Amino acid sequence: CQVVIHKSRKITIVLGVIAILILAIIPLTVCIIKPCLPCHSTVSAACPDFWIGYRRKCFYVSKEERNWYLSLKICSSLNASLAVIDTQKELDFWVEIFTPFHYWFGLSRGEINQLWKWFNDTEFKNQFAVRGEGFCAYIDGKGASSTTCSMEKRFLCSRPESCSKSG
């Protein structure tokens, strides 16, 4: 009789451990399959008023025209930078929105034969083609183009989404 009770306790303990493991694994599996959001459930990702949220970034779309360098300074004053465009898909998104206007973004180079770099000196990895022989890049109706940095164009600033308390 004691042998049966002893086996019963072992089975109960083993089943309890298995249940705890399953309860621990399920949330991890959900996060792997569907990435967890950076914000907790009591907060929501937010962009400031009049900014556009896209792919976990907030974008400010200027109405005024400035040269590339002044655009960089204005973005900085907004706690942002001239936009970093990460993929061809992201570039295509902005091309469709901006046509027929031209907008500076954060890509430039010192000379025609030099590699393109982002505003923070990070190397551009050629995620998309940049047309032209200019030194500063902008978005137009065809994709990314380049021209002299002193030209005045509208500009696109970006910064990561922030989390804000909800209700």
Q: From CA 160, how far away is CA 59, in angstroms rounded?
A: 9
With tokens 């902008």, the residue in question is: 138
Domain ranges within the chain, ordered by starting residue: 1-34, 45-163
pLDDT band at 9 (very low <50, low <70, confident <90, very high): confident
- Looking at the domain 45-163, which fold is it? Mannose-Binding Protein A; Chain A (3.10.100)
- Kindly tell me if the per-residue pLDDT of 23 is higher than 90: no
CA distances for 163 relative to 40, 55, 57, 60, 159, angstroms: 8, 14, 11, 17, 12
CA distance 150 to 148: 6
pLDDT tens column, 47-81: 999 999 988 999 999 999 999 999 999 999 999 99
CA distance 25 to 28: 5
Average pLDDT over residues 133-160: 97
Q: Average pLDDT of 112-136?
A: 94
Indicate whether 28 pLDDT > 70. no
Question: Token match 């907004």: residue?
Answer: 78
In whole angstroms, give the CA distance from residue 21 to residue 155: 52
Dihedral sign (CA 82, 86, 87, 89): negative
pLDDT value at residue 5: 60
Residue with the two structure tokens 């109405």: 63
Question: Which of 8-17, 52-61, 158-167 has the highest average model confidence (pLDDT)?
Answer: 52-61
Question: Which is higher by pLDDT, 53 or 20?
Answer: 53
* Residue 45 predicted with pLDDT over 80: no
> Sorting pLDDT into bands at 50, 70 and 90, what band is 162?
confident
